[in-house]
Structure 1
Amino acid sequence: MVRAVRGAIQVEGNDRDAILAGTTELVSEVMGRNNLTTDDVISVIFTCTPDLTAEFPALAARKLGFHDVPLLCATEIDVPGALPRVVRLMAHVQTDRPRQEIQHVYLRGAVALRVDIAQ
């Protein structure tokens, strides 16, 4: 089956190292909590709030071994009052887990985005 896994993390600032470290933490948590390997991943879409421009989050995934996984980066809609400095992801994965067992991951300040499903 194909499932979508969501996640987000608020990073410390618009700094290359902060974006890469936060994205690495987010991707690692999504993979670990869902017992996934890169072979299970079909594709990943990353988005950043408009205040994050110092690096592509996909670079962190490449450094984690996502060499042959299609990755895409985009900018979130600039909604007034939205939580700043957030990297989000939506990963499409192959898994036998039912939808209700998928672990969506919201870290640091991004927990406020989805308190209903944050683990």
Structure 2
Amino acid sequence: MARRSRNRGEAERGRFLNRGKHKPTLLKERWRFLVEGKVQGVGFRQGCCRRAMDLGLSGWVRNLPDGRVEVQAEGTPMALSDLRLWCERGPTDAQVSLVRPSQMPITGADWFEIRN
């Protein structure tokens, strides 16, 4: 009975080990923030959109009929945490009283926009 050689060729060895060929994928999450307080008419949506794009997030922001602002953002946990901190302060004229976060399934969107 013939024995296999312990020294495999480079082509065969490469079939099993893919070193350095694949980048690790970054963990992404999607969060929804409901922002309460004096947050409409103070530039909250524009400031939130600018901050989200600076952080490399995707998603959207919009005013709700009851006076709150809804933000849905997708990206790395660190960037989402930074956006939540920004939402807790808001722009200069805003008076944020509460931010209610909830996690959602990711959608794969690749831009951030202001919705009406």
The verdict on a shared fold, with TM-score over 0.5 as the criterion, is: no
Instruction: Give the TM-score normalised by the residue count of structure 1.
Output: 0.30
Scaled by the length of structure 2, what TM-score is found? 0.30
The structure, 1 or 2, with the larger RCO (C-alpha pairs under 8 Å, 6+ apart) is: 1
